Amino acid sequence: MVRYLQSADVPESRLILITPPPLCEAAWGQECLRQGCKLNRLNSVVGEYARACLQVAQDCGIDALDLWTLMQQDSQDFSSYLSDGLHLSPKGNEFLFSHLWPLIEKKVSSLPLLLPYWRDIAEAKPALSLLGDGDH
């Protein structure tokens, strides 16, 4: 994936790799049973994928967010972050956002503003604010 993005001239500075979240084997096992199959994933294997993701990020000079480790930090119960043991729940998405947003802000903070701040746009004639000389 990284090589493809590099071939499309996406600079490494714009990329953030995110490890998979941990797997709650008990909850995912129940979901598998509902679907008529047995447990088909293990958190230890997900951890191997997470470590591989981090290694790729390091090798390529790309920022990474280690969701797998963060969610299990201090042996916390991460099951509420997962809707079915595998996929993020709304709380899991909030957790991801709270850790991802600072990385995004760091990357975009130095970018120039190309358009006026939304409060500076004249409601009566927005085109003048966006396309005109800026006087409103």
Max Cα-Cα span within the chain: 66
- Region 2-24: what's the mean pLDDT? 95
What is the pTM for the complete model shown? Answer: 0.80
The confidence score (pLDDT) of residue 3 equals: 92
The owner of tokens 């006087």 is: 135
Asked if 79 and 27 touch (Cβ cutoff 8 Å), the reply is yes
pLDDT above 50 for 134: no
Looking at residue 132, what is its pLDDT?
Answer: 67
| Confidence at residue 102, expressed as pLDDT on a 0 to 100 scale | 96
Q: Name the more confident of 131 and 103.
A: 103
92 neighbors 21 (Cβ within 8 angstroms): yes
Closest CA to 20 of 63, 57, 68: 68
**Predicted pLDDT at 133:** 58
Mean pLDDT to the nearest integer, 61-67 = 96
Fold observed for domain 1-129: Rossmann fold (3.40.50)
Predicted confidence (pLDDT) at residue 25 exceeds the cutoff of 80? yes
Phi and psi at residue 111, to the nearest 5°? -75, 140
pLDDT at 110 over 90: no
Interatomic CA distance for residues 31 and 125, integer angstroms: 54
Q: Is the pLDDT of residue 74 over 70?
A: yes
The SS3 of residue 109 is coil
